[in-house]
């Protein structure tokens, strides 16, 4: 059992912290910007305690996790006033599960190194269902010895945990993940749209082609809800646009060419204008079916 803090109890962080407590058996201290959410977490899980600030949450802990919104949120809870980096003890490990830029991951790694504790950028994939079921995929950037210490703890909410490479590599891998998903979801949306326009039995179509080369997680888990115009089953469009923006910004720096990702990003902008900011990413079908 380790002493663990979790900063950020959103859609992902709330159940992830729960798995660290229940499955991992760790002693948990939680912090959330909305303190009522932290109190609700302690009440629901019947254990753990709340902290008034990130610094208070991180004090004397073996491991500190964060899962917040974006670069600015992460910088605030780490380096800002009463930020966690004020109190993380030497030898501890800070694990950030937020999807952010590789630049801030490297910045925080350097700051942690200077203060004598470890830092891992460890964004996750698997959506809210993966978080609730404790089967997330975690892609990690950082030093091997720090990763070795943290991996058994991270495993409480993960199906796969992989050290990809140096600091920032976890975030870069998450960008690859989102680039791939963007193209897959657009292709699936077009396929469902075409099947609908053709008057085909979509259930038979998808059950058949999902067993062939067209099969994917997106097809298995999203074709039915898409075809029924139900878009409240996963990762929100607003967050996907944030992630694609990060990937496209990185591409401008490293020279990668991402024409499909850039195009799908604009399609998601259209979905936002349709009122779909909080719809899940499969709502790309909505823009095709608006006519």
> Which two three-digit tokens encode residue 240?
């996907």
| 236 DSSP 8-state letter | B
Report the C-alpha gap between 184 and 163 in whole angstroms.
Answer: 25
Q: Which residue has the tokens 């053709």?
A: 198
Report the C-alpha gap between 20 and 64 in whole angstroms.
Answer: 11
Rounded to the nearest 10°, the torsion over CA 35, 36, 42, 45 is -130
Strands 136-141 and 124-125: antiparallel
Q: Are 26 and 3 in contact (CB under 8 A)?
A: yes
> Which two three-digit tokens encode residue 139?
């892609």
CB atoms within 10 A of CB 136: 26
Q: Are 44 and 75 in contact (CB under 8 A)?
A: no
Report the C-alpha gap between 258 and 252 in whole angstroms.
Answer: 9
Strands 158-165 and 118-121: unpaired
Beta strands in 15-156 (DSSP E): 27-31, 49-50, 63-66, 93-96, 118-121, 124-125, 136-141
Q: How many residues belong to the chain?
A: 291
The active-site residue, picked from 149, 174, 230, 277, is 174
Kind plus residue range of the DSSP H or E element containing 160 = strand 158-165
> Which two three-digit tokens encode residue 18?
């729960």
Annotation marks residue 174 as catalytic: yes
Active site residues: 174
């Amino acid at each position: 059992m380790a002493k663990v803090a979790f900063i950020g109890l959103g859609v992902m962080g709330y159940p992830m912290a729960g798995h660290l407590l229940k499955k991992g058996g760790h002693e948990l201290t939680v912090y959330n910007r909305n303190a009522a959410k932290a109190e609700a977490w302690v009440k629901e899980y019947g254990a753990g305690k709340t902290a008034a600030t990130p610094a208070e949450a991180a004090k004397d802990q073996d491991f500190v996790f964060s899962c917040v919104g974006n670069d600015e949120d992460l910088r605030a809870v780490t380096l800002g006033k009463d930020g966690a980096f004020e109190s993380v003890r030497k030898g501890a490990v800070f694990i950030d599960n937020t999807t952010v830029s590789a630049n801030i991951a490297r910045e925080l790694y350097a700051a942690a190194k200077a203060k004598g504790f470890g830092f891992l950028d460890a964004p996750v994939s698997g959506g809210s269902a993966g978080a609730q079921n404790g089967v997330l995929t975690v892609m990690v950037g950082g030093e091997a010895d720090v990763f070795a210490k943290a991996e058994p703890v991270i495993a409480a909410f993960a199906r796969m945990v992989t050290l990809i490479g140096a600091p920032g590599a976890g975030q870069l891998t998450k960008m690859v993940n989102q680039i791939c998903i963007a193209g897959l979801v657009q292709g699936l949306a077009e396929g469902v749209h075409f099947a609908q326009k053709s008057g085909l039995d979509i259930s038979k179509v998808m059950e058949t082609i999902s067993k062939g080369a067209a099969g994917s997680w997106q097809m298995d888990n999203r074709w039915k809800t898409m075809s029924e115009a139900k878009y409240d089953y996963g990762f929100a469009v607003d967050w996907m646009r944030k992630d694609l923006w990060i990937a496209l910004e990185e591409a401008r720096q490293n020279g990668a060419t991402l024409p499909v990702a850039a195009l799908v990003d604009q399609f998601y902008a259209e979905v936002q204008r349709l009122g779909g900011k909080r719809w899940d990413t499969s709502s790309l079908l909505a823009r095709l079916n608006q006519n």
